[in-house]
Every structure is written in C-alpha cells, then in structure tokens.
Amino acid sequence: MSTRRLLMERGHDVRVFAMHHPENIELPDETGYAKEVNFAGGIKAKLAGVRRILGLGDIRRSVAEVLDDFRPDVVHLHNVHSYLSPWIGEEAARRGIRVVWTLHDYKLLCPSYSCRRPDGSVCEECLHGDFQVIRYKCMKGSSAQSLLADVEARYWNRKRLAAMTDVFIAPSHFMRNKMLEGGFPQLKVRTLHNFIDPRKSELLAEASHNAREDYFCYVGRLSEEKGVETLLKAATDAGVRLKVAGGGPLTSQLTSRYASNPDIEFLGHLDATGVVNLLSRAKASVVPSEWYENNPLSVIESLCAGTPVIGAAIGGIPELISEQDGVLFTPGNAEELSGILNAFDKRHPFNHKSISERAVKKFSRDGHYESLMEIYHGKDRE
C-alpha cells in the first residue's frame, strides 16, 4: 500500500488487484478482486487452490476484466503466488503492458519461499532448479503441501517468469545476486531498497535526540528463523538488559523459559509510537536473523532513529550496516554476540544524529520514486 500511496500522491492513477479477504484494507477500487481461496480448508478448497496456482477458473477472467477496463501502462506485481497467480503478469505481457515485479522473498528460487529447511538450516539446493521441496517436506513438514509447491515451481518455471517480466526489483543486492545465481537474466534484475514513509521517518528522526537508556532491544517476529533465542541466550550470558517487542509462534515458549531473568522484558506487540520510543532510547537494536533476510525494515527504522544496529551477517543485513552505524556478528553464534553486547559501552561512541541523517536520506521516498520511474519507463540499468 505504501507504493500505491506514493504513486497517487505524485498524480498517477493506480488500481489495486488483490484477493477478497475479510481483513483487507478497504479501497474504493475493490471491484473485480479474485475470489478468496483457503489452502487450509477441505478437499474442495484445496482443489480451488490448485486451480488458482495454475491460473485456471475465475482468476483469468478477473485479471482480464481489470486490465481491459483500466488499461494500465505498468502492472506492478508483489506477492502473487498461490493466493493470486503469476497469470496476472502473463495476461499483462500479452497486452503489451510493461510488467515489474518486486520480490519480497525467495519464492522464485525456492518453492518454500525462504531458502531454509524444516530443521532450520539454510539451503540452496533448489537455487539451480533441482527442486528438493518434496524430499525435505519443506512446506510445514507436509508431503501434500510440498508436492503442491513443487508443482507450482515447475509450472511457473524461471524461464516462463523471466519471459513475461520486464524488470524484477530486488530490495537488496544480496537478493539480486541470488536471482542471478538462479539463472535470471542480469539486465532484468534491478536493486531498489525499500523506502520508509516520510511521516514515520520524521518521527524516528525527531526521536533520535532522545536520551539513551541502558538497554538493548529487539523488534520483530518471535520465530525460529529470526534467531531470537540466540539473542536471549547472548543477553543472559552478557548480563545486559534486553527489551523484546513482537509476537509469534515462540512467544509462550520464550517468555516461560526466560521468565526468571529480570533483565529480559517481553513487551508484546507495540503500536508505531511504542516502537519509535523503544528504538530511540535503546543503546542499540539487535537483528539476530538466521535466514536470508531481504531488506529488513527493522534495520531501516532503527537507523532512522539514530540507533546503531547489531546485526547478523546474513542475507541483505550486512549491506545496510557500516562501521559508523553498527556491528555485525556470525548468525547463530550466541557466544560472539554475547561478547559484543558485553563490550558495547567500551566501543567508540556512535553519533546518533549522523546515523539518523544518513538513513533518512538513503531510504527517502523521493529517491525511491525517481528510481521507480526509471524502471517503469525502461530507463533503468543496474
């Protein structure tokens, strides 16, 4: 929705095509949405899901009607697999409409999206098209769901996706490099970092002047791939204060396990103001991910708040953090992270004002818009 708002504020006509869902944001142009599919339902729902993946049934009709009615210059895809369909791109390409696709995960390279096996290890076996999703039951440990993911990956293969797409937008250099390793044409993959809403960046920049307090913080999902337990172990060993904001499948397990440590505080979900206050008063935020993060907003928001980031050296995280605004550590290494936390105050002090100014400029809406227009008009070159 942030891209839609950015384009409309600059005078562009924008129409959203999505799947009907009761939790959708209400928009004035919702007519023509695809019907809701529920892969967790019974056999009938699952068959509807298969038809959706293959671009059969109502999705073709809905897409065609919207394209013929609105007649766009550009179709900008986001997360279209499964609940929608890459068929949207093919229908647009057939009509001579430019197709741009922003990548939010590794679905085009890995049928399970994450380049991660069920045991938590990073995996690149599917990178070159030798799909192993069935072998490892990568989709939630389910043979049926893994088979469906394999069918989808082979049906919407890389050659077919590349043929219909003019430009793939990778929000990190890391993701772009993985796309190239996976065989996508170099001239079709462009790096464009995410931008931060100016209203939020202003709040974060203003808050960067806040007095720093004696704690580290984590903001994000409480799940295995985020490396939260590595951080909790490290903080416990270092004897430092840690505030954890967010929720997820590990919430009850982690809160119970670390309940006896008075230095660790679980805050649950915070609203935008709460996140700004938490980040802007912390000594540093920690991003301990153990999967190929793309262009994590948690890093961007922390830097805009003038707060240095202690980040795992994995995925797109390292390209966001320099010696001037943070520290990197080996992902999954609690001992190394503990040492960094313990010695943090002995480091040369970070300039919070400079960290914020650099980040606000780098992730500005204006710069993003200019680059996006180059991509839309076919003037971009990596």
Cβ distance 188 to 165 under 8 Å? yes
Residues 216, 222, 226, 227, CA torsion sign: positive
Q: What is the pTM of this model?
A: 0.93
Distance CA 357, CA 213 (A): 21
What percentage of the chain reaches a pLDDT higher than 90?
Answer: 78
Q: Does the pLDDT of residue 380 top 70, yes or no?
A: no
DSSP assignment string, 178-224: HHHHTT--GGGEEE------HHHHHHHHHHTTSPP-S-EEEES--SG
Domain with residues 2-195+365-376, CATH architecture: 3-Layer(aba) Sandwich (3.40)
Whose structure tokens read 């793309």?
A: 294
pLDDT digits (tens, 9 = 90+) for 127-141: 877 789 999 999 988
Q: What is the CATH number of domain 198-362?
A: 3.40.50.2000
C-alpha dihedral, 27 to 29 to 33 to 37, nearest 10°: 0
Instruction: Find all residues with CB under 8 Å of 55, minimum gap 6, and list them.
Output: 85, 86, 87, 90
Q: pLDDT-derived band of residue 381, with 50, 70 and 90 as boundaries?
A: low
Q: pLDDT-derived band of residue 328, with 50, 70 and 90 as boundaries?
A: very high
pLDDT digits (tens, 9 = 90+) for 73-96: 999 999 998 788 898 999 999 999
H/E element, 61: helix 58-70
Stronger pLDDT, 167 or 49, i.e. the higher one: 167
Q: Does the pLDDT of residue 364 top 60, yes or no?
A: yes
Phi and psi for 314 in degrees, rounded to 5?
Answer: -150, 145
Q: Where are the CATH 3.40.50.2000 domain residues in the chain? A: 198-362
Q: What is the CA radius of gyration of the chain?
A: 22
Tell me, what's the pLDDT at 47? 79
